[in-house]
Amino acid sequence: MRADDPEYDNISVQIFRGVVGRIDRAFQSFFRRVKAKEKAGFPRFKKGKRWCSIEINDQCCRMLKRQGNKLVLKIKGLPRIEVKSSRELPSSTLLKAIRITRKPLRTEVSLSYELPEPEQTRKITNPVGIDMGVSKRLTLSDGVTVEKRKIDYRHLIQLQRSISRKKKSSNNRRKAVSALAKEWQRLTDKERDRLHRLTATLVKMYDFIAVEKLETKNMLSDRHLAKSIREQTWGKFMTLLGEKAESAGVKMVRVNPKNTSQECSSCGATIKKSLQVRVHRCTKCGYEADRDMNAARNILHRGLALIAGGKLDLESRMVGRMRDKREAAPVRPRTVYE
């Protein structure tokens, strides 16, 4: 094709290899789903205007060059791209993949490096368990809470109605669609920045993190909670927290979430309660606490048992409320993140 078409011949062959690789992965996933008797999902043909990203996985180190104080990405057939990095990047010899994405507000460049695996040198002295919810975004085992994310849909609804009033395939409709895409991009950028700050703070505060291994896809089948779960972006939070913990040498484990809300973190008894009951009250030991905090402490207990069988030499105040002790007053969460 490149030999027959001069327009294709003027574009780097690495770009075409990336396209072929994506098509191959799409069909391999399709055949895997068919073999597993899952929903097949035949790969969808993408029109030119829907093709918004370029992947390059070959000879990347030759394309990223430093000119003075600037990093410049030079790819045959594409304009010269100046890369503005917020931190110092590793050596270009470690660069393995480049992704260029056209978004409504700007063009983004993602650089993937192959780095040595960091050693976990930090001693566990301040562990934490994290319970993710919809009434509170996060509840930590030490009583800290993070308020849930709230999206103001009023402006988005106005933009969507504006699109509906426009004639299809008209220039005014394209402008309205572009305005809606830019507004969603602003909300996404704001949320991504907040998640980066939140996960970085957690990694700095704690040296061991235990979280739930949630099957978000199955939870979205609940039509009453699906919208609230999507708004809290649990998947993005888990991904960023795992990346930052690995980079900082902080141990992070995922535990089985079954009955973390029903089990008493003080005595281990199972106290059945519906989702509407927000306070845990144990009828056997008398322990009373916020439902999510009780779950966070159970998550912490399971995480510690998972890595060391419960044989860690830690002070009880750092582990949280131990099962063989009882506090005199009920424990209530406190909010420190806005």
pLDDT for 172-229, tens place per residue? 999 999 999 999 999 999 999 999 999 999 999 998 999 998 887 778 877 888 888 8
Residues 139, 282, single domain; the answer is yes
Let me know if 18 is exposed, middle or buried by CB neighbors in 10 A (0-12, 13-18, 19+).
buried
User: So what's the pLDDT on residue 327?
Assistant: 42
What letter would DSSP give residue 79?
Answer: -
Chain segment 241-264, per-residue pLDDT in tens = 998 998 888 889 999 888 888 888
Residues 195, 330, single domain; the answer is yes
Chain segment 115-170, per-residue pLDDT in tens = 877 665 567 788 999 999 888 899 998 888 999 888 889 999 999 999 999 999 89
What's the rounded Cα separation, in Å, for the pair 112 and 12?
19
Residue 156 lies inside a defined structural domain of this protein: no
Q: Does residue 322 have a pLDDT over 80? A: no
Residues 136, 232, single domain; the answer is yes
- Stretch 302-327: mean pLDDT, rounded? 53
Residues 250, 312, single domain; the answer is yes
User: So what's the pLDDT on residue 210?
Assistant: 92
User: So what's the pLDDT on residue 99?
Assistant: 92
Residues 287, 146, single domain; the answer is yes
- Stretch 286-309: mean pLDDT, rounded? 85
Q: Does residue 305 have a pLDDT over 60? A: yes
Both tokens assigned to 245? 């913990």
pLDDT bin (cut points 50, 70, 90) of residue 78 is confident
- Stretch 322-326: mean pLDDT, rounded? 41
> What predicted TM-score, i.e. pTM, was given to this entire model?
0.76
Residue 118 lies inside a defined structural domain of this protein: no
Q: Does residue 315 have a pLDDT over 50? A: no
- Domain residue limits at 287: 127-151+186-337
Q: Which helix (H) or strand (E) holds 333?
A: none
User: So what's the pLDDT on residue 180?
Assistant: 94
Is the separation of the CB atoms in 111 and 93 below 8 Å?
A: no
Residues 248, 101, single domain; the answer is no
- Stretch 312-318: mean pLDDT, rounded? 39
Residues 220, 244, single domain; the answer is yes
Residue 220 lies inside a defined structural domain of this protein: yes
Residue in the block written with tokens 């000879």: 59
> Which residues, including other chains, have CB under 8 Å from residue 152's CB and lie 6 or more apart?
none
Is the separation of the CB atoms in 64 and 98 below 8 Å?
A: yes
Max CA separation in the chain (angstroms): 82
Residue 120 lies inside a defined structural domain of this protein: no
Q: Does residue 36 have a pLDDT over 60? A: yes
Residue 309 lies inside a defined structural domain of this protein: yes
User: So what's the pLDDT on residue 121?
Assistant: 56
Among 90, 113, 136, give the residue marking a domain's end. Answer: 113
User: So what's the pLDDT on residue 323?
Assistant: 39
Q: What are phi and psi of 40, to 5 degrees?
A: -65, -55
Residues 138, 74, single domain; the answer is no
User: So what's the pLDDT on residue 333?
Assistant: 45
**Count of domains in the chain?**
2
Q: Which helix (H) or strand (E) holds 14?
A: helix 13-35
Residues 100, 141, single domain; the answer is no
Both tokens assigned to 232? 């809290």
User: So what's the pLDDT on residue 116?
Assistant: 79
User: So what's the pLDDT on residue 316?
Assistant: 38
- Stretch 282-289: mean pLDDT, rounded? 82
Residue 89 lies inside a defined structural domain of this protein: yes
Residue 70 lies inside a defined structural domain of this protein: yes
User: So what's the pLDDT on residue 308?
Assistant: 67
Let me know if 300 is exposed, middle or buried by CB neighbors in 10 A (0-12, 13-18, 19+).
buried
Among 88, 113, 138, give the residue marking a domain's end. Answer: 113
| Partners of 288 in the β-ladder | 281
- Stretch 57-82: mean pLDDT, rounded? 86
Residues 51, 147, single domain; the answer is no
Q: Mean pLDDT for the chain?
A: 83
Residues 190, 135, single domain; the answer is yes
Both tokens assigned to 136? 């509170």
Residues 204, 93, single domain; the answer is no
Residue 165 lies inside a defined structural domain of this protein: no
> Which residues, including other chains, have CB under 8 Å from residue 208's CB and lie 6 or more apart?
124, 126, 127, 128, 250, 251, 252, 303, 304, 307
Among 65, 85, 113, give the residue marking a domain's end. Answer: 113
